[in-house]
């Protein structure tokens, strides 16, 4: 029974740390770029879009399709960086413990 109580205490501590990590991830921002930094997308580490910057040289009607493609590429770049930050935070939180596939604590 003592083992069970110890496990419950550890689970409660992990849950508390997870909540702290989630709050921290809301404050961390990453930037993704595309087109040689002509398009920049800013996301939180949780993946929420915070801002977009487009170089003025792209502001012509003929460049519309290129801008759209660069926005998608910059968002993908920022998303990869956000996921890397989240994985690093999770690794630190779990002490390097690898969670089974499909188990999401976020």
SS (H, E, C) 42-85: EEECCCCEEEEEECHHHCCHHHHHHHHHHHHHHHHHHHHHHHHH
**Tens digits of residue pLDDT in 18-38:** 888 888 888 989 999 999 999
Domains of the chain: 24-93 (3.30.1310.10)
* Average pLDDT value for residue range 8-24: 83
Reported confidence tier of residue 103, pLDDT bands at 50, 70, 90: low
Q: What is the pLDDT of residue 37?
A: 92
* Average pLDDT value for residue range 4-21: 82
Higher pLDDT, residue 7 or 72: 72
Residue whose entry in the numeric block shows the structure tokens 């759209």: 68
* Average pLDDT value for residue range 82-101: 76
Q: What is the pLDDT of residue 25?
A: 82
Reported confidence tier of residue 5, pLDDT bands at 50, 70, 90: confident
Residue whose entry in the numeric block shows the structure tokens 């809301």: 26
Residue 102 has pLDDT above 70, yes or no: no
Q: Return d(Cα 80, Cα 30) in angstroms, integer.
A: 9
């Amino acid at each position: 029974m003592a083992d069970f109580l110890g496990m419950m205490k550890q689970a409660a501590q992990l849950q508390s740390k997870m909540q702290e990590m989630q709050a921290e991830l809301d404050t961390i921002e990453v930037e993704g770029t595309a087109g040689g930094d002509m398009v920049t997308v800013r996301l939180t580490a949780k993946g929420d879009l915070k801002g977009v910057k487009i170089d003025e040289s792209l502001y012509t009607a003929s460049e519309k399709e290129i801008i759209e493609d660069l926005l998608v590429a910059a968002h993908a770049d920022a998303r990869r960086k956000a996921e890397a930050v989240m994985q690093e935070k999770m690794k630190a939180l779990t002490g390097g413990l690898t969670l089974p596939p499909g188990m999401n604590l976020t």
